[in-house]
A and B are shown apart, each in its own frame.
Chain A
Amino acid sequence: MNKLETSKELVAANREQRKDQTFPQASQDEKDKIVRLFHPDYHAEGYRPIRIGPNKGERTVHEIADLLESKSPLFKEELSLKPAHSTDILIIGGGGAGAAAALAAKEAGADVMIATKLRFGDSNTVMAEGGMQVAAGKDDSPITHFKDTMKGGHFKNDPLLLKTLVEEGPSAAQWLLGLGISFDRDEEGNLKLKSGGGTSRPRLLTCKDYTGLELMRTLKDAVLNEGIRILEFSPAVELLSDGRGACTGAVLKNLDAHQWIVVQAKTVILATGGSGRLHIQGFPTSNHFGATADGLPLACRMGASLTMADTFQYHPTGVAFPEQMAGILVTEAIRGAGAQLVNRSGARFVYELETRDFVAASIIKECAEGRGVETPSGKKGVWLDFPMVNLKNGPDYLDHHFPNMIRQFSRFQMDVRKEPILIYPTLHYQNGGVKINVDGESEIKNLFVAGEASGGIHGRNRLMGNSLLDIIVYGRRAGKAASARAKMAEPGNLTLEHLDRFNQELEKASIHPGKTSPILFPDYVRKEEVTKKSA
Chain B
Amino acid sequence: MVHTTIAGKPCEVPEGLNAIQAMWYCGIDLTHGIGCLGGVCGACTLTYQLHGSPVKTALGCQTQVVDGMSFNLFAADVKRAVPYKTSLDPKKAMDIPLLKNHFNETLSATRRCVACGACTAVCPQEIDVMQGVKEAINSDFKKVSGLFLNCVMCGLCATVCEAHVLPHLVGLYSRKVTSFYLTPKTAWLEERVEEIRSGYYEAEMKRLLNYSESDWAREFAAGPVWRSTGRKSDQNL
Q: Measuring CB to CB, which residues of chain A are less than 8 angstroms from any residue of chain B?
A: 28, 118-124, 126-127, 134-144, 146-147, 150-151, 155, 159-160, 163, 167, 170-171, 173-174, 177-183, 185, 188-191, 200, 207-208, 210, 212-214, 217-218, 220-221, 223-225, 233, 255, 286, 288-289, 322-324, 328-329, 403-404, 407-408, 411-412, 521, 524-527, 529-535
Q: Does B96 contact A (CB under 8 A)?
A: no
Q: Are B81 and A144 in contact (CB under 8 A)?
A: no
Render B153-194 as a binary contact track against A, CB cut-off 8 A, 1 for contact: 100000000000000000010011111100111111110110
Q: B186 contacts A191, CB within 8 Å?
A: yes
CA distance A191 to B192 in the complex (A): 12
- B189, A191: Cβ atoms under 8 Å? yes
Residue B55 at the chain A interface, CB threshold 8 Å: no
**Chain B proximity of A158: nearest CB distance (Å):** 11
Q: Cβ of B190: which chain A residues have Cβ within 8 Å of it? A: 174
Q: What are the residues of chain A within 8 A of B213 when measuring CB–CB? A: 155
Q: Which residues of the other chain, A, contact B201 by a CB distance below 8 angstroms?
A: 141-143, 167
B216 A151 Cβ-Cβ under 8 A: yes
Q: Is the Cβ of A190 less than 8 Å from the Cβ of B187? A: yes
Choose one: A183, A288, A328; the contact of B35 (CB below 8 Å).
Answer: A288
Chain A residues near B125: list those with CB within 8 A. Answer: 407
Q: Is B51 an interface residue (CB 8 A)?
A: no
Known contacts A180-B177, A217-B153, A404-B150: A147-B208 contact under CB 8 Å: yes
Are A329 and B64 in contact, CB atoms less than 8 angstroms apart? no
Q: List 9 A-B contacts (CB under 8 A).
A: A124-B36, A134-B189, A137-B188, A143-B204, A185-B183, A212-B40, A221-B81, A521-B31, A532-B11
List, in ascending order, chain B residues with CB within 8 A of A208's CB: 149
Q: Which of B97-105, B112-120, B131-139, B221-229 contacts A (4 or more CB under 8 A)?
A: B221-229
Given contacts A141-B230, A181-B179, A188-B184, contact A159 B209 (CB under 8 A): yes
Judge if B143 is at the interface, Cβ distance under 8 Å: no
Interchain CB contact under 8 A, B18 and A324: yes
Q: Which residues of B contact A220 (CB under 8 A)?
A: 80-81, 153
Q: A403-B149, A403-B150 in contact; A189/B186 too (CB < 8 A)? A: yes
**Complex interface: chain B residues within 8 A of A531 (CB):** 9-11, 26-27
| Cα separation A177 to B193 with both chains bound (whole Å) | 13
Kindly state the separation between the CA atoms of A121 and B81 in the bound complex, as whole angstroms: 12
Given contacts A155-B213, A189-B183, A255-B31, contact A138 B152 (CB under 8 A): no
A134 CA / B12 CA spacing, docked (Å): 50
**B188 proximity list for chain A (CB < 8 A):** 136-138, 190-191
Inter-chain contact A411/B62, CB cutoff 8 Å: yes
Task: Indicate whether B54 reaches chain A with its CB closer than 8 angstroms.
Answer: no
Categorize the interface residue count of chain B: 35 or more
CA distance A136 to B219 in the complex (A): 24
Known contacts: A142-B205, A208-B149, A220-B80. The answer to whether A126 contacts B189 by CB under 8 A is no
Q: Kindly identify, within residues 6 to 20 of chain B, every residue whose CB is under 8 Å from any CB belonging to chain A.
A: 9-12, 16-18
Q: Which B residue's beta carbon lies closest to that of A326?
A: B21
Structural contact, A143 and B12, CB atoms closer than 8 A: no
The chain B residue sitting closest to A128, CB to CB, is B40
- Contact across chains for A535 and B10 when beta carbons are under 8 A apart: yes
Contacts of B175 in A (CB 8 A): 180, 182, 214, 217
Report the minimal beta-carbon distance from B147 to chain A, rounded to whole angstroms: 12
Query: Quick one: given A122-B43, A136-B189, A137-B188, are A534 and B82 in contact (CB under 8 Å)?
Result: no
B196 in the interface, Cβ–Cβ < 8 Å? yes
Interface residues of B in 59-113 (CB under 8 A from A): 62-64, 80-82, 84, 87, 90
Q: Is B38 an interface residue (CB 8 A)?
A: yes
Whether the pair A412, B64 counts as a contact (CB closer than 8 A) is yes
Q: A413 to chain B: closest CB distance in Å?
A: 8
Complex CA gap A517/B2 in Å reads 37
Q: Which residues of the other chain, B, contact A170 by a CB distance below 8 angstroms?
A: 189, 192-193, 196
Q: Is A182 a contact of B209 with CB atoms below 8 Å? A: no
A127 and B38 contact, CB distance less than 8 A: yes
Pair A408/B62 contact, Cβ less than 8 Å: yes
Contacts of A404 in B (CB 8 A): 40, 150
Query: Are B36 and A288 within 8 A (Cβ)?
Result: yes
Min CB gap A356→B, angstroms: 18
- Closest B-chain residue to A141, C-beta based? B229
A324 and B21 form a contact (CB under 8 A): yes
Q: How far is the CA of A289 from the CA of B188 in the complex (A)?
A: 39
* Contact yes or no, B36 A289, CB < 8 A: yes
Cβ contact within 8 Å between A288 and B126: no
Contact check, B27 vs A119: say whether CB atoms are below 8 A apart: no
Q: Are B187 and A139 interface neighbours, CB within 8 A?
A: no
B36: which of A127, A137, A188, A191 is its contact (CB, 8 Å)? A127
A473 to B30 Cα, complex, angstroms: 33
Report B199-214 CB contacts with A as 1/0, cut-off 8 Å.
Answer: 0010011001101010
Task: Give me 13 other A-B pairs in contact (C-beta within 8 A), A119-B41, A155-B216, A177-B189 excluded.
Answer: A126-B41, A143-B201, A144-B227, A146-B205, A174-B186, A182-B175, A182-B179, A189-B184, A214-B175, A404-B40, A407-B39, A408-B39, A524-B24
Across the interface, which residues of B come within 8 angstroms of A121, CB to CB?
41, 80, 153
A142 and B196 form a contact (CB under 8 A): yes
Expressed in whole angstroms, the minimum distance between the Cβ of B224 and any Cβ of chain A is: 11
B40 touches A127 (CB 8 A): yes
B179 contact from A140, A180, A525, Cβ within 8 A = A180
Shortest beta-carbon distance from A118 to chain B in Å: 5
**Chain A CB within 10 A, most for which of B10, B28, B176:** B176
Q: Which of chain B's residues has its CB closest to A322's CB? A: B16
List residues of chain A with CB within 8 A of the CB of B204. Answer: 143
**What chain A residues lie within 8 Å of B29 (beta carbons)?**
525
A233-B27 contact in complex given A170-B192, A190-B187, C-beta closer than 8 Å: no
Q: Which residues of B contact A136 (CB under 8 A)?
A: 186, 188-189, 192
The answer to whether B24 and A289 have CB atoms under 8 Å apart is no
Rounded to whole Å, the gap between the CB of A26 and the closest CB of chain B is: 14
Indicate if the CB atoms of B229 and A324 lie closer than 8 Å: no
